[in-house]
């Protein structure tokens, strides 16, 4: 298999999340408990940016990295278990 040097292998956590099926309802509950304070109850933005159509702007792997990295203060580092992250990702894709 030909592999380009600019492609990096996925982090094992990200790979695990991407292999799981997410549950939108569970993801919405996770969002409500952990994200809605800053991003608004419906993702319309508040302290944090608006998340509507965020999955059109970022890849699934990039969304996971954004949520878990803590590299964009004031957003804290947040690393849910892989199934919870898959559920949250599924919900974000509906916004």
Domain 20-92 grouped into CATH 2.40.170.20: no
Query: Could you tell me the sign of the dihedral formed by the alpha carbons of 13, 15, 20, 22, in that order?
Result: positive
The token duo for 53 is 């159509």
> What is the pLDDT, as a whole number, of residue 72?
81
> What is the pLDDT, as a whole number, of residue 10?
74
> What is the pLDDT, as a whole number, of residue 8?
59
Burial class (CB within 10 angstroms; exposed 0-12, middle 13-18, buried 19+) of 66: middle
Tell me how far CA of residue 91 lies from CA of 2, 3, 5, 15, 86, in angstroms.
34, 32, 33, 18, 9
Indicate the domain borders of the chain: 20-92
> What is the pLDDT, as a whole number, of residue 7?
54
Q: Give me the average pLDDT of each 10-residue run along the chain (95 residues).
A: 52 93 97 94 92 94 90 84 97 96
């Amino acid at each position: 298999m030909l592999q380009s040097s600019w492609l990096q292998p996925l982090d094992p956590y990200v790979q695990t999340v991407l292999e799981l099926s997410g549950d939108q309802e569970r993801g919405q509950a996770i969002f409500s408990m952990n994200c809605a304070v800053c991003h608004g109850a419906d993702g319309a933005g508040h302290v944090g940016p608006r998340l509507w159509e965020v999955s059109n702007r970022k890849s699934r792997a990039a969304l996971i990295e954004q949520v878990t990295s803590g590299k964009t203060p004031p957003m804290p580092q947040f690393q849910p278990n892989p199934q919870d992250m898959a559920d949250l990702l599924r919900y974000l894709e509906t916004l």
